[in-house]
Amino acid sequence: MGMGDAQAGWDFFVSYTQADAAWAEWIAWVLEEDGHRVLIQAWDFVAGDNWVQRMREGVAGAARTVAILSTDYLESEFGTAEWEAAWRADPLGARRKLLTVKVADCEWPDLLASVVGIELFEITEAEARRRLLRMAAGAEGGRVKPDMAPPFPGAKRAVPDKPVFPPALPRVWKVPARPDVGAAEAPGRPSASGIQLADRVEGYLTGVANTSLYWQGWLPVIPATGVLLLCHGGNEHCGRYQNVVDTLIPDRWAVYGLDLRGHGRSGGKRVHVDRFSDWLDDFDRFKCEVVSRHQGLPVFVLGHCLGAQIALDYALDHQEDLRGLVLSAPFLDTPAVPGAVRSLGKVASRLLPEARFKVVGLDRISQDPEVVRRFRNDPLVCHENATMTMARIVERQFKILIERSRDLRIPVLIQHGAEDAIADPDGSRRLARAVGSPDCKLILYPGLWNEIYNEPERQRPLSDLHEWLASHRESPGNGDGLTSGEDIKRRP
C-alpha cells in the first residue's frame, strides 16, 4: 500500500535526522506497541519512493509530527523544513500537530520555545517509555490526568514510605564504589548461584567531536573482584551480551559495555566512522570512567568481531592498564571475496564515501532462530550496512593488526566459530601464530557461527570464557597454546 493510500490513517509522522535513527526507531516501536499507526522513514520509505515527497506527505497527512530534537536535527535543512511545516499548520497548538522530543541536550529554536515537549535523554528506558506514552495520550486526548488520586498535601511525612526515583542521570553518572555489604543489606535479585545482582547502571559520556556515548554496567551486590569491558560488534549494541553478563556476575565480575559511536543509543551517523582512532579514543574515555570506580581491580577487555578489532588495537597501546584480552570472532579476514568486488569497493569508497554496500549477511550471526528474530526486531540494531568509508577503514586493519600483534605481551584468549561466514576463522589462526605473548590461547568451535555466545551450543564458549578469566584474574596465566575442539597443541 503506497503512502497516498494510507496517509489519512497515520497517527504520527516521526521526523528525525540519520544521527538519531536509533532514537527514532525506538520511539516508533513504542508508539506502535501502544496501538498507534506510525510513519517512519527507516521502515516505510521503500525502493522506488521519492523520499522528499514522502516526507512532505508525512507532515501533511499524519495527524501529528514527532520531531526528534538534537543538535544534528536542528542543523538539518530537511529536519527544519519538516517541523516548521507542522508548526505553520497549527501555530497556536490547538490541534497539537507538532510534538517535540529532545534526545540530546540542545538549544530550542525560538519558534519551538512555546511548544510543550518532553526530554528522553539521561533517564532510564522505563521512564522514557512512560514519558513518551504520556505525551502521546495527552496529544490525542488533550489531557493527562493521572490514574491514581494525588496524595493529600496536608499530611506530609518527614520520611517518605519509599525512596524517590531519581528523575535523571547526569551526563556521566559516577556511581561511588559499593560498600562492603552482604546480600541481605542491599537490594538485588538472586542469581542461580545465590549471589544477588545489582540493578543495571547506565549513563552517557562525551566522546570525540562531542559525540554522546551511551554505556551501561552490571554489578554484583557484594564487592566485585574483576572488571570486564565489552566492545560489541558492528551494527549491534552492548545490550546484546546478557549471556556473558549472566555467566560472569555470579563470579563477582563487574561487567560494563559501551555503545560505539554510530551504534545503539550513542550518537553519530549510523554504522559509520571517520577515523579508526575515533573508536579508540572513545573507548579510552569509557575505560577511564569505569576504572575510576573500581581502582585496584584487574581489568580485562572482551571484543566481538568489529569490537575485537578495536579491542586488539586498544590493548596494543594500553598493555600496562590491562590484565588480559579476549577476542570473540575477531574481524581480521572475510570469506573469499572476488578481486573485482574488492576493486569496486576501493573505487566506491573514494567516489561515494557514504554509500552503503551489502557485504555482510547479518542473518548468519547465529543458528538459534530466536536470536536472529530478536536481532531483526531490535530497534537499537542498525539493519543498514556500514558506509563505504567505514568498510574500507575496517578492512585496512586486517593486515596491520596481525603484524602489530607481535608486540602484544598480555594474556590473550581467542574464541571463534569454525563455520563463521562473517569473520573468517583464518584471521584468528594467523593472529594466534603472530601474537608475541607467551600466553595466547585459540579455541575454534566446530559447527559454530559468528556469535558464539548466542549459539544453541553456547554453553561451552561461555564456560571457556569463564574459566579463562577466573584463572587470569589472580595471576598472569600459563600459556595454554592453540585449541581446536578437544585437541591441544602448544604454540612454539
**Rounded CA separation 190/428 (Å):** 37
Least confident residue range of 271-285, 347-361, 438-452: 347-361
The residue behind cell 594466534 is: 432
Distances in Å between the Cα of 271 and the Cα atoms of 75, 206, 390 are 20, 18, 7
The pTM of this model reads: 0.60
pLDDT of amino acid 184: 29
Alpha carbon distance 397, 312 (integer Å) = 10
Higher-confidence position of 258 and 71: 258
Q: Assign 348 a pLDDT band (cuts: 50, 70, 90).
A: low
Tens of pLDDT, residues 289-313: 999 999 999 999 999 999 999 999 9
More confident residue, 384 or 148: 384
Q: Using the predicted structure, report yes or no on whether residue 207 has a pLDDT greater than 70.
A: yes
Q: Is the dihedral of CA 293, 295, 299, 305 positive or negative?
A: positive
Range list for CATH 3.40.50.1820 in the chain:
188-489
The radius of gyration of the chain's CA atoms, rounded to the nearest angstrom, is: 24
pLDDT at 437: 97
**Helical H segments across 332-412, by residue range:** 339-351, 369-377, 388-404
The pLDDT score that the predictor gives to residue 29 is 92
The predicted pLDDT at position 142 comes to 83
Nearest to 76 by CA among 97, 57, 46, 55: 55
Mean pLDDT of 461-487: 72
- Euclidean distance between CA atoms 215 and 205, whole angstroms: 8
**For the residues 385-401, what does the mean pLDDT come to?**
91
N-to-C CA span, the chain: 64
Residue 187 — pLDDT band, cuts 50, 70, 90?
very low
pLDDT at residue 127 greater than cutoff 90: no
Residue 200 one-letter amino acid:
R
**Lowest mean per-residue pLDDT among 132-136, 199-203, 290-294, 390-394:** 199-203
On the question of pLDDT at 153 being above 80, the answer is no
In the predicted model, is pLDDT for residue 144 greater than 80?
A: no
What's the rounded mean pLDDT across residues 399-418? 97
C-alpha span between 452 and 420 (Å, rounded): 9
Q: Between residues 365 and 7, which one has the greater pLDDT?
A: 365
Q: 32 pLDDT exceeds 50?
A: yes
DSSP category for residue 107: P
Nearest C-alpha neighbor of 281 from the set 382, 213, 201: 213
**pLDDT above 80: residue 108:** no
35-83 confidence digits (pLDDT tens): 899 999 889 887 777 767 777 777 778 899 999 999 888 888 888 888 8
- Residue intervals of the chain classified under CATH 3.40.50.10140 are 3-141
pLDDT at 358 over 70: no
Q: How confident is the model at residue 233 (pLDDT cuts 50, 70, 90)?
A: very high
Find out whether 198 and 170 touch, Cβ atoms under 8 Å: no
pLDDT reported for residue 198: 57
Mean pLDDT of the chain: 82
The CATH fold of domain 188-489 = Rossmann fold (3.40.50)
At residue 473, the pLDDT reads: 94
- 3-141 CATH choice from 1.10.3680.10, 3.40.50.10140, 1.10.10.10, 3.40.50.2000: 3.40.50.10140
- CA pair distance 489, 492, nearest whole angstrom: 9
Residue entry with cell 488533550: 142
